[in-house]
Amino acid sequence: MSKSLTLLLSAAVAAGVFGCAQFAGVNSLRGSEASAPDLAPAEQKLYAGKRPGSGAPIARTFKEQPPLIPHAIENFDEITSTDNQCLECHSPANAPKKAAPKVGDSHLTVAAALRMDRYQCNTCHVPQVDAKPLVANHFSGNLPGR
Ligand code: HEC
Ligand code: HEC
């Protein structure tokens, strides 16, 4: 066995032996039994919120946050290369007509066209479901009052 390979293997073994100590006392939600069924919550059938235009925006909790979608998106969440129904209400041209907020200025090129890296809206903007957190958390935003 070459010297460098021996060194590499002993480093790997050492990492295995010493690396475990830091995980002592850490348990997964599922427990240590790999075959145990996990505790995934029941699938949520409906998004929270109603028809667009019938609700109010959800307060943002941190600077630069992509605002959460406050309305249901059933029937128009499928975004393809030829069809993006979000833009039927949120594009700069349609937003005033639909009384919807216009996409952020950061989404537009200097010629006021939509930047293609902003086309897939639901990469960043997500609808909400009425799901309780799996584990308690102490999240608090960094905006005043949050
Ligand atoms: C029929 C018109 C319509 C369609 C289609 C639509 N929206 Fe909306 N959207 C609205 C309106 C109106 C609001 C303002 C809040 C309200 O009244 O529901 C809104 C609010 C939002 C907000 C909150 C903005 C903020 O400043 O808080 C986001 C984000 C958003 N929509 C994203 C989307 C995405 C992503 C899609 C596509 C999956 C989409 N919307 C499809 C009309 C629409
Ligand atoms: C790469 C992430 C990303 C994508 C993709 C994206 N957005 Fe946004 N969006 C943001 C962020 C971050 C903000 C808040 C800051 C800003 O305005 O740039 C925002 C803001 C908004 C707002 C509120 C604008 C305002 O003036 O308050 C609307 C409405 C919106 N986006 C709609 C959309 C729609 C519709 C699409 C798809 C065509 C989309 N966004 C795609 C990240 C994204």
| pLDDT over threshold 80, residue 17 | no
Rounded average pLDDT over 21-38: 74
55 and 49 Cβ atoms separated by less than 8 Å:
yes
The ligand that comes nearest to the alpha carbon of residue 51 is: 1
Q: CB within 8 A of 39, min separation 6: which ones?
A: 29, 30, 134
Query: Which pLDDT score is estimated for 134?
Result: 78
Q: Pick the more confident residue, 3 or 54.
A: 54
CB of 86 sitting under 6 A from ligand 2 = yes
The tokens for 56 are 């109010």
Q: Is a pLDDT exceeding 80 seen at residue 70?
A: yes
Compute the radius of gyration of the chain from its Cα atoms: 23
Q: Quote the pLDDT of residue 43.
A: 73
**pLDDT, position 76:** 82
Is 72 a residue whose pLDDT tops 80?
yes
The residue whose two tokens read 């949520």 is 44
**Which atom of ligand 1 lies closest to the CA of 122?**
35
| Nearest ligand for residue 86 CA | 1
More confident residue, 45 or 117: 117
Expressed in angstroms and rounded, the spacing between residue 85 Cα and the centre of ligand 1 is 10
Q: Which atom of ligand 2 is nearest to the CA of 106?
A: 18
pLDDT of residue 98: 95
CA of residue 108 to ligand 1 center, whole Å: 17
Closest by CA to 71, choosing from 120, 127, 121, is 127
Residues in the chain: 146
In which residue are the tokens 């950061």 written? 106
> What percentage of the chain carries pLDDT values higher than 90?
42
- Token pair of 15 as six digits: 């990492």
Average pLDDT, the chain: 83
Q: Which ligand is nearest to the CA of 108?
A: 2
Yes or no: say if 118 and 70 are a contact pair by the CB < 8 Å rule: no
